[in-house]
Amino acid sequence: MIKVSPSILSADFANLGAEVKKVVDAGAEYVHIDVMDGTFVPEITLGAGIVKAIRPVTDAVFDVHLMVEHPDTQIESFIKAGADIITFHVEAAKHPHRVIQAIHAAGCKAGISLNPGTPVAMVEELLADVDLVLVMSVNPGYGGQKFIPASLSKLRRLRAALDACGSQAELEVDGGVTEANAQEIIEAGATVLVAGSAVYKSKDIKATIKALHGRN
């Protein structure tokens, strides 16, 4: 089953609760929450307090993406705030397996993410232990970028590697996802599509989310 995870990075932050409810009511299964620290990526976005504030709005899965240095220091606060999945970057963790263990020990699902220039080999030893693998199909830090075509090859290789080790982990893609490329992304093996601008700037959000599911 394909899931859609609209990124609230593209939402109207003055009405964030309503913006979250709007995409869930339109058919989104997940809510993608991009956390940036101004160090791992240039921008600073939001903290655990914002997640806590919007948690009562919906029962949808909160898909928290930590684009931060030292992700191990952020686990507890985001889980307490209501995260269901915490994904961190393999490039940011000295001991990624330990971070995965800590997330699981705290009662949350764990995901690992790769930037466009990071090879699949960096996460191969972790695939059997995670609940989600996130392929960045743009360089992280800014919304509205164009999808990097080489991401399709990376998705195919990760899908094959996940299947080979018997993992049930979801394969998520984030960056430049639109109605126009959703089907080829799904065919490459993705099961969760993150979309920010494509959803929140759509004139018909329900139709856009339906199209991102691969349904016409």
Active site residues: 34, 174
Annotated binding site: 7, 32, 34, 65, 141-144, 174-176, 196-197
DSSP codes of every residue in 155-179: HHHHHHHHHHTT---EEEEESS--T
CA distance 91 to 106: 22
Helices (H) and strands (E) in the chain, counts: 8, 8
**Contact of 158 with 169, CB cutoff 8 Å:** no
Measured between its terminal Cα atoms, the distance across the chain in Å is: 15
Can you give the length of the chain in residues? 216
CA distance 44 to 151: 25
